[in-house]
Amino acid sequence: MPKPLLRVEELNKTYLLGKQRVAVLRDISFTVGQGEFVAITGASGSGKSTLLALLGGLDQADSGRIFLGQEEISKLNEKRLAVLRNRRIGFVFQSFHLAPSLNAFENVAFPAELAGDREAAAKAERLLRRVDLWPRYGNFPSQLSGGERQRVAICRALINTPSLILADEPTGNLDSAAAALVLDLLLQIKDEYGVTLVMVTHSPEVAARAGRVIRLSDGRIAA
Ligand SMILES: Nc1ncnc2c1ncn2[C@@H]1O[C@H](COP(=O)(O)OP(=O)(O)O)[C@@H](O)[C@H]1O
Ligand SMILES: [Mg+2]
């Protein structure tokens, strides 16, 4: 078992629907080791995206604790969470979430510039070359295919060398050829950068490539 990177203890999350509290995550506990690839699966509405948002400090649980390394992220204020999200966690979303007014290069470099990294430009170029998109560096997201956009998003997620990548159905909006390419790249780069990957996926083929699968059912981890 590798050293634990992510530790989740007894997470509970409810949403208010009208006047009713609906439980979305119930007593979720698990640990992810450094360098692992863990897939999160489960039916639509089972709480996968909610869980990922909690892990990334994008939303808060009602109770429970989340540790990234030694740091309890469920205790951080918004300012420290913003720094953590910028430096230590990379996000990849189904719908890419690129800034439409920035070209591919600028999208990738942006988180590093935000972090005050003087190597931002060099790192962005290296990453775009790595995913074979350097010739397209000046293109805006609207001028790129879905697969190309997701490769840009992967570069952006990696530029600050995070310890953890959180990916929510990263190939969900891609045709099967583009999806296969993006998944292969993500898994290769994950190993090259020694990063830990937690990925929500609907796809049994994708889950089959994970070291471990966590299946959510009705907000709980199914046996
Ligand atoms: N902001 C919200 N307000 C109220 N209910 C929400 C909100 N976000 C998600 N939900 C509900 O929580 C449940 C889990 O959603 P989600 O985590 O997106 O599931 P999944 O990603 O597995 O499809 C669903 O029933 C959904 O309708
Ligand atoms: Mg979802």
Q: Is residue 150 part of a domain?
A: no
pLDDT in tens, 179-201: 999 999 999 999 999 999 999 99
Domain total of the chain: 1
Radius of gyration of the chain (CA): 17
What residue ranges line ligand 1, CB within 6 angstroms? 15, 17, 24, 42, 44-50
Look-up: residue for tokens 């190993």?
191
Q: What is the mean pLDDT of the chain?
A: 95
Closest ligand 1 atom to residue 168 Cα is 21
pLDDT in tens, 139-163: 999 999 999 999 999 999 999 999 9
Of the pLDDT bands very low, low, confident and very high (cuts 50, 70, 90), residue 46 is: very high
Closest ligand 1 atom to residue 42 Cα is 22
**What's this model's pTM, rounded to 2 decimal places?**
0.95
Q: What is the pLDDT of residue 2?
A: 82
Pocket perturbation via mutation, ligand 1, pick of 14, 15, 218 by most ligand atoms within 8 A of CB: 15
Q: Is residue 121 part of a domain?
A: no
Expressed in angstroms and rounded, the spacing between residue 140 Cα and the centre of ligand 1 is 31
Q: Is residue 153 part of a domain?
A: no
Cβ-based burial of 112 (10 A; exposed 0-12, middle 13-18, buried ≥19): buried
Of the pLDDT bands very low, low, confident and very high (cuts 50, 70, 90), residue 168 is: very high
Could you tell me the CATH number of the domain that includes residue 194?
3.40.50.300
pLDDT in tens, 49-91: 999 999 999 999 999 999 999 999 999 999 999 999 999 999 9
pLDDT in tens, 93-140: 999 999 999 999 999 999 999 999 999 999 999 999 999 999 999 999
Q: Is residue 66 part of a domain?
A: yes
User: In the predicted model, is pLDDT for residue 1 greater than 80?
Assistant: no
Q: Is residue 113 part of a domain?
A: no
Pocket perturbation via mutation, ligand 1, pick of 14, 50, 201, 221 by most ligand atoms within 8 A of CB: 50
The range of the structural domain enclosing residue 199 comes to: 4-101+158-221
User: In the predicted model, is pLDDT for residue 210 greater than 80?
Assistant: yes
**Nearest partner of 168 among 64, 48, 3, 20, judged by Cα:** 48
Q: What is the pLDDT of residue 102?
A: 98
Q: Is residue 123 part of a domain?
A: no
Q: Is residue 117 part of a domain?
A: no
Cα→Cα distances 180→70, 74, 161, Å: 35, 34, 24
Q: Is residue 69 part of a domain?
A: yes
The protein residue whose alpha carbon is closest to atom 9 in ligand 1 is 50
Of the pLDDT bands very low, low, confident and very high (cuts 50, 70, 90), residue 223 is: low
Ligand closest to the CA atom of residue 26: 1
